Amino acid sequence: MSAKRYLFTPGPTTVPPEVLAALAEPVVHHRGSDFRAIYAECLQRLKQIFRTSSDVLLFTASGTGAMESAVANLCSPGSRVVVVSAGSFGERWIQLAERYGCEVEAIRYEWGEVPVADDLASVLGDASDVRAVFMTQSETSTGVVADIQALAAAVRPSGAHVVVDAISSLGAVPLDVDAWGVDVACAGSQKALMTPPGLAMASVSDAVWAPEGSSSSPRFYFDWDRTRRAQEKLDAAFTPATSLVVALNVALGMILDGGLEQTFERHRLLGRACREGAKAMGLELFSPDDESAAVVTAVSAPGGVDATELVALLRDRYGVQLANGQAHLKGKIFRIGHIGYYDVFDIATALGAVELGLADLGADIERGIAVTRALDVYAEGAKV
């Protein structure tokens, strides 16, 4: 295997050396004054990244923990909820809501399709008894980024709470939590936030904290009220993953120093370069061929090539880790994540590896065509 390793999956993502260095700092006590200062700064920076004036609750957990917190804190057995699902992570909302005894209405799209706000508006109709609508901003399994602003607007007349899985999208593509009326946005440390996995977040709008906001579902570790009361005193409810919080704070500082809008623009440009490079090889995109697809590029494996084999070969022979398709797409597509600590040379490396790997598997690819096209597109875009 190649000695050098490249992590180009849609999460976990590569972590900057500055963040790794912070991880290796001596452990501090979570109730000590030095940690409290970092914790306060981290919580404040999260609000800026979420673009909210409400609380962002921080959990030591995978992103799914934040998703479960939304279901457990908002829904009681029998709660009517709607889920917009167009892939693996939309299905996770359905599983979670069913597990908590909700009456779930699922709006299901084919994997790879883009959810349509009008569909959601029709399903909601003039219903006023829907507790929450769950949706996915970046469907990591397909590369589709949904129009959360439009979907949230479609929910508004119903008064239902808008809950967004923004795990792979937060910090990569715009999410205006307050301006768009998103009640709950869930995120994780290991995607665009450039930190190892282990921290999950949920922004919770002031509307949710109203008295009727509490559900009868049992919960303790993921209880929002307990977490909020503790955070207000800068005192985590339970011993947090202090090293990860220190690291996250460094990463958030880097993102905010670079500018959120500039970060979004970089992701858009990298997505464009990746798509154009893949197409230059003659490959077919599975994710949408438009500017929305700024998080993950999903590519259909060319005829005769098994994506499972390609992903394994790239990892074992070239040290380049891409992602396979999930569920029924396994072996049919491969996915290149361009999230977080990522630049055009990473796109070139990923595409260069695909060129080499496909040639190894017998495909007829003009050497350098994808890399050349990606650099070209990047140079054009960066000029603007």
Applying CB under 8 A, the residues found at the interface with its own copies are 5, 7, 9, 11-15, 20-21, 23-30, 32-33, 60-65, 68, 71-72, 95-96, 99-101, 188, 190, 196-198, 217-222, 238-244, 315-316, 321
Cβ nearer to its own copies, comparing 90 with 240? 240
Measure the CA–CA gap between 97 and 93, rounded to whole angstroms. Answer: 6
Cβ nearer to its own copies, comparing 8 with 50? 8
Find the length of the chain. Answer: 384
Angle, alpha carbons 88-305-354 (nearest 5°): 80
Give 282: exposed, middle or buried? Use CB within 10 Å, 0-12, 13-18, 19+: middle
Cβ nearer to its own copies, comparing 223 with 276? 223
Measure the CA–CA gap between 298 and 289, rounded to whole angstroms. Answer: 10
Angle, alpha carbons 350-169-287 (nearest 5°): 55
Cβ nearer to its own copies, comparing 35 with 111? 35
CB of 230 to its own copies, least distance (A): 12
Measure the CA–CA gap between 317 and 6, rounded to whole angstroms. Answer: 12
Cβ nearer to its own copies, comparing 158 with 242? 242
CB of 120 to its own copies, least distance (A): 24
CB of 384 to its own copies, least distance (A): 32
CB 96 within 8 A of CB 74: no
Structure-block tokens of residue 291: 């500017």
Instruction: Kindly give the interhelix angle for 33-50 and 242-258, rounded to the nearest 10 degrees.
Output: 40
Beta 199-204 vs 55-60: how paired, if at all? antiparallel
CB of 247 to its own copies, least distance (A): 9
CB 155 within 8 A of CB 124: yes
CB of 7 to its own copies, least distance (A): 6
Cβ nearer to its own copies, comparing 71 with 283? 71
CB of 78 to its own copies, least distance (A): 12
Measure the CA–CA gap between 311 and 335, rounded to whole angstroms. Answer: 9
Q: Nearest to residue 161, comparing CAs of 207, 99, 216, 214?
A: 207
What's the half-sphere exposure (Cβ side, CA atoms, 13 Å) at 17?
Answer: 0
Cβ nearer to its own copies, comparing 28 with 361? 28
CB of 369 to its own copies, least distance (A): 27
CB of 38 to its own copies, least distance (A): 14
CB 102 within 8 A of CB 78: yes
Cβ nearer to its own copies, comparing 32 with 159? 32
